[in-house]
Structure 1
Amino acid sequence: MPEVHNLIEFGKLLKGKKRRDFDKKYGNVLNLIEVNVQVEAITTLSQFYDPQFRCFTFSDFQMVPTLEEYEQILGYSFKNIKPYHYKGHYPASKMVASLLKVKQDKLEKYMKSPNGVYGIPLSYLNERLESFHEEGDWAAFADVLALAIFGIVLFPNIDNHIDFAAINVFLAVRNERQNPVPTVLKRTLCCLSALSVWLITHIFHSGLRASCPILDFKQCFVKPKNKFDWGRYLGDLSEKTVRWYPKWREVGTVIYQCGTFPNVPLLGTKGCIYYNPSLALRQLCYPIMNSPEEDSSLTASFIVHGIDNKDIEEHRRVRKAWNHIGHRGRELGKRSTDALN
């Protein structure tokens, strides 16, 4: 778990219009850092991950975080906004220095490289946040606070270190209004706050018809459990006990495929992988008609491991596919959370 105490305190300084402007620009990231993550729950959940179908397989059902769910958890809409895509290079240190309002040579002295990964220590961003607060430069304060959250919560890599992959996503969101949801979803087991909200709101009932997923999560009031208790709890889940379709997940159409891909390719900070919406139909209130074994598109392999020159063509193909998004709605069947086979 990242150390977010200082970021929470900095976030409390944004009030009224400053907070509303931040949320409009960066979604729910400030709310996410206040999510109380039970690490034992996520550790146990990871043992249910099925690499063949890229989902979580429980006793008699399967579930997978969806684009539509993460869209609401993170607070970024796909309406008129293209997803993040890697352009083939990371931002120059000069651009990052401009964001932090420091000289380039001074910033480069702080750009440490743990394990060969260049970036910025969280401690240095904390110093810049203190300075911007004292100066009353709230625009810069908001941007740097969001950068820190992107680096250690949405796209963590090394403890207390914001690497250039995370910085690249942040700048794409800030400067070009790109959507980070597919990139976060591609790294499902990395953003623990978002995954915790997804898990808890599926398997516990808050009794509240909340239109906000994070509020729904907080209203579930889940008591701390150890690994043994979480293992027993998740092992006993059944299709009849999970919450398939809370109020905040109500959607009309879903992103079902992109371009000529049979599924939805997710372009991350390091590569690409498939996401299979047909496994998540019950979470979107549509019936599942066939078992995964009968759907060849689910077992189709598509993995791009890196961002080197040899991978650029595949990245380009994925970006082009996202210009032709295939939505489905009523043609998927009558609204239902049944599995018909």
Structure 2
Amino acid sequence: AFVLVAWHFDYIAFHYKRALTHIRLLDEKLSMEIEFLDKVENNAVVQVWSEKAQLQKGDSLTEGYKSELWDFTYVSVTQNNLQELKEIWDQWDDEIKQLFYYNYGDLPYLLDIKVDEHLFRALAQFWNSAYSCFTFGEVDLVPTIEEYTTLLRWPKIQVDKIYSKAVNVPTFVKKLMNILAMSEEWVSVRVKQKGDSKCIPWRSLRDLILVHPDTKKKVDIFALSIYGLVIFPKALGYVDEAVTDLFDRLDKRITPVPAILAKTFRSLSACRSTGEGRFIGCAQLLLVWFHSHFWKVDKVSYRVFSENYSPLKELASTTRRDNIMVEKWIAILQNLKDKDVEWKAPWMVPDEILYRCGDFDWVLLLGIWGAVGYAPLLVLKQYRSRQFVPITQGLSQSEFSYKDDGYKKNIREVTNAWKQTHRMKRLTVGPMVTPEYNGWWSRRVNDNIPRLREEDVRPVEEHLQVVPSEMEIIKQDFEKRSLQLERKIERLEGEKMQLGLDVDAQRLEADKLIKGKNKAEEDLDSLKTDYKKLRRSMRTAGLGKTSEQWRQEIQEERTKVDQWEKKFQDTQAREVALRESLLVCQNEKAGLKVRVAELEKSLHQHRNCNSVIELKASLGKIEELKEWVGELEDALQNSELRIELLERVAQIRGVAEHLQTLAVQADVLSLKYESESDRGRELAWLLRRDPNKTKIMTVILEHPYGTRTKTKAMDQWIERLEQMQKEMQDKMQEQLDVLESQRAMMSQLTQLLADKGKGPALNSGVDQEDPVYPPGFAPTSTQAQLDMCQQGARVHIRPQCQVDTLTPINFQIGSGSNPGDNPVNPVVPDLNDVAEVEKARVDLS
């Protein structure tokens, strides 16, 4: 039964696997059909649009067009000497080379490609400027963005992010400083003017590559040199300023392919329009592309699909004939047939085709010196897709230079168009060319290009056929034999690898068996060890006793168990008693907590009552302070009167100075008149009226020239007045400071009472917060301030007389009322008497 169930299970599993496989195959087939339908629909929509637009707008050239191109164009393909670049590259180790590949792709392989000048001059004769393509006999060919991108293998670019000339760019010196990481002085000295643009010599870059300490900058400078000497070789031996503008923006992951194609197309068109000129573009890359479409292969190598495969490296290592003259190449290309072309390059793995940008009917390429358009729909066969009628109207007028008027507007339009790229999927089903395309191509108006010669139509192989020499035949036989041996070696290596895999599998199986055997032996050894231990423990435990002895031992063990059970019951009873006592303690703790809460509440109420008592005491103190503040305000008013009196004293000082002047005049009069004159007698009579004046005049008469003595006495009197005034001001300032401190203390007490007034004094029936200070406690600073205010000195100001009276003025400046405290009691002269003396002196004069 078990075998039958297992058989049914295997049968069900087998049919289940077959059903899953069938479903998976159907799913893949359905996916392929859906993808195929999508491609057909996408391709058909583009075809309908293109053919309709071509009918409405026409072609790039119309009937009646007269070409202005020369019959033959002499093109110079003079290149820079790249030997020094090769030597620098060969000196680098693999780590630096890998860094270069990661940042700038397969550019170094361009250094190994030799430029065939004869082939290049022949190619230039077939450049069709009106359609931006090569027209060889019956076929159109043109380098595409996808092909150049695959050849150069830039890993860090975005295919839709193109270069566009900015309006405001840094200066040439600033860009070189950023790229080379050198100072402004170093760069400025080496910048040269070549024609209408600035350049930097290659020898300066070469010396910098050899000594630069930064490996990354060394790689950047080498890449800049390739761009300036190989891809855009404008001035031989120099790197142009426009090249640095493109190179400086490669860090933003822009693709340089449109700029390379734009310069290639524009340079070919310029040479064709003038009949001569030097090609300023990457001739190496153009020749590699051309040979790729004449490289016949039976099947595509699997290496094409590898990430490490480099088509440029393989093409650069391929040797080709370079002894075919220009005329021979022109004859070959002039009679080129569709079957002679390898339409899709062997290394090209296309998926989608970029066929237009924005509102343009084709693709516009922005370069570093200008722009030009090209139509990818014209060469759909290069993508191995069905060829239909393309839209080409406007291609002949699409080119413009950055020196033309309004080029900035054109740049903006092209840049905005690249933000809306249109792509189509390729279609490889059915005929590769539509009948409408054949009719259109035969009617198309071309520019001046070499025509097809029916009388000289021969295959390309015949044109390139050369009678081999004996050495070449031996070489070919040797190569064939070597190829056979290589294939045999590859087969043997495959068999060896398979045998090695079988040996490895057998070795693994043997290792598993050995491990199983070792594990079984280890288990057997452990079992033997356990058995020996068991026998030894049995002997030690005395398992050979009689049944009576075993019964006694069992009874003893039962007795022990009963004792332990009794102890356990006692322990449980003790635990119950402890739990009851714990419960009682918890109840007592709860009662204590309630009692503590009641005590805290009563303590809080008691504190509130103490706060009310303290508040009442504080109110009483405040009333006393208010009375004392009133007394201080009265003292302040008296002080203000004394200040006013001091101002009067200042006026008296002026009068004293005037009196001194009068004394001087009196001296003069005493010299002029004798005392016996009538006026002298009158003056004596005036002096007898007032004893004080008599003393003054006596001093004057005793010493007719007593000016110094009078002046000294007057100065002493004035000094005493100033001293009195200074002491009075100091006293007043001290009293004002005390008053200010008392006012500040009053404001603090008022604020404190206001805060307490919000407490229990306003609502004593409700529990309030604890007072600021404990009951019966007053801060030391507050008590000290109250005592100071109560014990402060009181200031008494005696009544003063008016200034114009004869009674002298007494100033009390001490803290008490004792007149002896006053150090000075100045006598202020009567102003009326002074006036009379003045009048008498005038009469005497």
Tell me what 2:397 maps to. Answer: 301
Give the counterpart of 1:247 among 320, 339, 346: 346
Task: Please tell me whether residue 200 in structure 1 is matched to residue 291 in structure 2.
Answer: yes
Q: What SS is found at the alignment partner of 2:206?
A: helix
| 2:334 paired residue number | 235
CA RMSD of aligned residues (A): 2.3
Which residue number in structure 1 is paired with residue 320 of structure 2? 222
Q: How big is the shift at 1:303?
A: 2.0
Superposition pairs of residues 266-285 of structure 1, within 5 angstroms: 266-285=365-384
Q: Do the aligned partners of residues 311 and 130 (structure 1) sit closer, same or farther apart at CA in structure 2, a change above 3 Å counting?
A: same
Q: Does 1:317 align with 2:413?
A: yes
The equivalent position to 2:429 in structure 1, one of 328, 334, 340, is 334
Comparing both structures, which one devotes a greater share of its residues to helix? 2
8 A Cα contact 1:84 1:183, kept in partner: yes
Q: How does 1:103-122 map to 2 (within 5 A)?
A: 103-122=183-202
Shift of 1:5: 1.1
User: Is the Cα–Cα contact under 8 Å of residues 29 and 74 in structure 1 kept in the other structure?
Assistant: yes
Report deviation, 1:57: 0.5
1:44: Cα distance to partner?
1.1
Aligned partners of 1:203 and 1:242 also within 8 Å: yes
The equivalent residue for 1:213 is 311
What number of residue pairs does the alignment pair up? 333
Structure 2 distance, partners of 1:130, 1:336, is 57
- Residue of structure 2 aligned with 1:86, choices 165, 182, 190: 165
Give 1:55 deviation, angstroms: 0.5
Between the aligned partners of 1:307 and 1:335, the Cα distance in structure 2 is 47
Q: 1:176 maps to which residue? A: 252
| Residue 89 of structure 1, CA deviation | 4.3
CA contact (8 A) 1:286 1:335 kept: no
Q: Counterpart of 2:312 in structure 1: which amino acid?
A: I
Kept after mapping to 2: 8 A contact 1:186/1:268: yes
Q: In the alignment, does 2:142 pair up with 1:64?
A: yes
* Whole-Å separation in 1 of the counterparts to 2:410 and 2:255: 20
The Cα of 1:32 is off from its aligned counterpart by 1.6
Q: Does the residue aligned with 1:82 lie in a helix, a strand or coil?
A: coil
* Matched-pair identity in %: 26
> Counterparts of 1:76 and 1:182 in 2: how far apart (Å)?
13
Kept in 2: contact 1:285–1:336 (CA 8 A): no
Q: Distance in 1 between matches of 2:317 and 2:211?
A: 36
Deviates further, 234-243 or 251-260: 234-243
SS state at 1:282 partner:
helix
Instruction: Tell me if the contact between 2:131 and 2:396 (Cα under 8 Å) persists in the aligned partners.
Output: no
Letter in 1 for 2:118: E
CA apart distance, 1:205: 2.9
Alpha-carbon distance in 2 for matches of 1:200, 1:283: 14
Instruction: From the superposition, tell whether residues 58 and 76 of structure 1 become closer, same or farther in structure 2 (CA, over 3 Å).
Output: same
- Structure 1 contact 282–288 (Cα < 8 Å) conserved: yes
Q: Given the superposition, is the C-alpha separation of residues 4 and 89 from structure 1 closer, same or farther in structure 2, using an over 3 Å criterion?
A: farther
Aligned residue number for residue 152 of structure 1: 229
**By how many angstroms is 1:307 displaced?**
5.2
Query: What TM-score do the two structures reach when normalised by structure 2?
Result: 0.38
Corresponding residue SS for 1:247: coil
Aligned to 2:179: 99
**Conserved? CA contact 2:387–2:434, under 8 Å:** yes
Per-residue CA shift, 1:280-339, capped at 9, x if unaligned?
20101112122x6xx344646312221567211110111111111111114x56386546
Amino acid at match of 1:320: N
Residue 166 (structure 1) aligns with: 243
Report the 3-state secondary structure (helix = DSSP H, G, I; strand = E; otherwise coil) of the residue aligned with 1:12.
Answer: helix
- Structure with more relative contact order (C-alpha pairs < 8 Å, separation 6 or more): 1
Residue identity in the other structure for 2:211: S
Give unmatched runs, 5+ long, in structure 1.
none
> In 2, distance between residues paired with 1:242 and 1:119?
41
* 1:21 counterpart = 2:99: yes
- Paired with 2:209 and 2:430, the residues of 1 have a C-alpha distance of 48
Q: Is the 8 A contact 1:261 1:321 kept in 2?
A: yes
| DSSP-derived class of the 1:273 partner | strand
| Bigger Cα displacement from structure 2, 85-94 vs 19-28 | 85-94
Q: Flag the 1:206–1:128 CA change in 2: closer, same or farther, 3 A.
A: farther
In the TM superposition, residue 160 of structure 1 has moved relative to its aligned partner by 1.1
Larger Cα Rg: Structure 1 or Structure 2? 2
The normalised TM-score by structure 1 is 0.90
Superposed CA offset, 1:215-273 (max 9, x none): 44246531112323322332232211111113311201011111111111101111211
Flag the 1:325–1:228 CA change in 2: closer, same or farther, 3 A. same
Distance 1:179 1:336, change over 3 A: farther
Which one of 79, 104, 111 corresponds to residue 33 of structure 1? 111
Per-residue displacement from partner, 1:63-120 (whole Å, max 9, x unpaired)? Answer: 1111111111222366466111111245421231242232212212211112132011
* Post-superposition CA distance 1:32-67 (Å, at most 9, x none): 222122122111101100011110001111111111
